Every structure is written in C-alpha cells, then in structure tokens.
Structure 1
Amino acid sequence: MAKAAPIAAVSNTDEAPPKKSKKKLIIILVAVLVLALGGAGAAFFLLGHKGEEGKATEHKAKEPAGPPVFVVMDPFVVNLAEPDNSRYLQVGITYEVKDAAAAEEMKQLTPIIRSRILMVLSSKNVADLSHIEGKQKLMDELVDLARVTLKEREDKDASKGIRDVHFSSFVIQ
C-alpha cells in the first residue's frame, strides 16, 4: 500500500475577504441603543419616579426607629349631636409621639387638647361614627387637633412629634 501525500491547504492571498455590509452594523447598533434607552426609561419610571406613596415611605424611613412613646388620655364620655340627645360616645384615646420630649410637651398641654377633643367628639353623630371611614376621619381630625395645639407654641417643629392616634375603646350607646 502506498502512502498518500498530505494535502496542502491552498491559501489564496490574492482575494480579499468579502466586505461586510455597514448597513447591517448600523441597524444592530441602533436597535441596541433603542433597547438600552427603553430599559433606562423604564427603570427611571419604576424606581426613580416617586409619587405620594413613595414620599410617605421615604419620610417614615427617616424617623428614628426607636420604640414608640404613647400618651394615654383619660377616657372621654360625650353626648353625641343627635336630635334627642339620648346617644353618647365613650372613647379611649392614646396618642403615639416620636419621643419622650414630645410626650412631655403634650402632657403639659393636656387640658387644652382635652377641651378641643371634647368639642370635636360632641359635634359628631351616630351616622358619622358607625362606619370605618367615619372613625378614620375622626382619627385624622384628632391628630390634626393635637398637631395644631402643639404648633401654637413657639417651637414650630413640635407638631412633627405626633405620629398617630389610637382608640383603646370605642362605645356608642
């Protein structure tokens, strides 16, 4: 058997490789650029654009993470604004404040705050307070009332000390 001679690779250096189209390269680059800009726009809209909810979350994150401080008010019993004056409300109210200093200031102003709370509560009727929306509205009014009372003092940042209000009891009879 005879050995076969190895086949040499034939290289043709005289011919240049075929020219690639620049149009194809430009179309690919434009498509990548459009996708990148679309992704960046979507990320900005979803992550960078903060509505009211984002601001509220951001505001709460800046508050100190310490344990809450509570100011418990004595229970309130008031006649409701009903035509026959036969209905009354008994409610326990507890304010949540940011720190002990705010709690101390609130305790000093308790007579003013209690008087204003009594006026607000006695202006309500059963229809105002029988649904959750009415109770939530009352809670908002009570927080605003306490903030306004503290703000009337010379310290303008005092109103930021009231975080929330909670009902410890709520009886309409």
Structure 2
Amino acid sequence: MATSTPPAKTPNAPKSRKLLVLLIVLATLIVLAVAGAAYYLTIQRKQAAPVAAAPADPIFIALEPMTVNLQPNGRNRFLHVAVTLKAPDVKSQALVTQYLPEVRSRLLSALSNRAGESLVTPEERAQLAADIMTTLNQPFAANLPSLKISSVMFTTFMLQ
C-alpha cells in the first residue's frame, strides 16, 4: 500500500499574507507622510512669501497762494503762485504744519530770486519745482530730520 502523505501545510502562507498587509500599511503611511509634508511646506511658502504692501495714500499739503516780485531785468514782474507739497508720511506733514512760517519764507526766497524770463517754459518750471523741493527738504533746525518732500506741484502759476 502506498501511503501517500497529505500535503503539508506551508507555514509561510500566513506569514507572507501578514507581510503583504504590513507592506501595504507601511506604504500608505509613507505616502500620507509625504503628502502631509508637501502640504505643510506649501503653506509655509505662502506665509513666508512677502506680501506687497499697499502703497500709502499720498499726503498733499496745500499752501496759501502767494505773490512775489521777481528779479528785475529792465521791467518789474511778479509771480502769483499756489503750491501743493506731497509728503510721504504724517510726520513730514506735521513738520510742515509746525514750521509753516519757515516753509513759506523759504518758498518766497526761492521764488523771488528768479528772473521772470527764466520761468517761461515747462522745463524751467520743473527746475523751479526741483529747487523748491531741495530748499524745503533742508532741516529746519540742527536736531530735526529733513522733510523728505517728494513732490512740489504748482496749482496756480501766473507770471505778469
């Protein structure tokens, strides 16, 4: 009689199944960890990216119109002008207001030292505005900062 032995159960079958489940769980955890790290880094980049600050609203300081006599070149001429200053911040605006008599005096000096013929073209007026800005940006006292006026605009300009 031939005896045949029943096939022996291989103990490796349950172990290989457990190993497969363990590998799937491990792979899932790795994928979730990578996805979480990518999401975290994306959020960090968005938060770290410098946000362009909205430009501050300009501060305009309108000075009272003034009339000045110009340097004579054979005839008497005068200039009636209204000036508006553009300040970058409230601190400069406060300095202009506090030292308004000094501002007007400097402006009158800058205007009255001109000849009427030197204020005819737009380029000459632009040069006058630049000179006024330079004059006004000088400190009013030794311990004070400069004004930092960013623009001088003529709202009235009448040459007679």
Q: TM-score range by the shorter chain?
A: 0.5 to 0.7
Moved beyond 4 Å, runs of 4+ = none
Residue of structure 1 equivalent to 2:57 = 67
For 1:86, what is the secondary structure of its paired residue? coil
CA distance in 2, matches of 1:127, 1:69: 32
**Contact 2:71–2:114 under 8 Å retained in 1:** yes
CA distance in 2, matches of 1:146, 1:168: 18
- Asked if 1:89 corresponds to 2:79, the answer is yes
For 2:81, what is the secondary structure of its paired residue? strand
Residue of structure 1 equivalent to 2:90 = 100
Residue of structure 1 equivalent to 2:153 = 166
Paired-residue identity, %: 26
**Contact 1:113–1:149 under 8 Å retained in 2:** no
For 1:148, what is the secondary structure of its paired residue? coil
Structure 2 runs not aligned, ≥5 long: 1-51
Which amino acid counterpart does residue 118 of structure 2 have in structure 1?
D
**Contact 1:79–1:89 under 8 Å retained in 2:** yes
Residue of structure 2 equivalent to 1:21 = none
Shift of 1:108: 0.6
Q: Deviations over 1:78-108 (max 9, x none)?
A: 1111234521100000100012221011111
What's the TM-score once normalised by structure 2's chain length?
0.61
**In 2 relative to 1, CA 89–64 (structure 1 residues): closer, same or farther, beyond 3 Å?**
farther
Q: Deviations over 1:150-173 (max 9, x none)?
A: 5x35243x433x111110000001
How many residue pairs match? The answer is: 109
For 2:85, what is the secondary structure of its paired residue? strand
Q: Give 1 or 2 for the bigger CA radius of gyration.
A: 2
RMSD (CA atoms): 2.1
Structure 1 runs not aligned, ≥5 long: 1-61
What's the TM-score once normalised by structure 1's chain length?
0.57
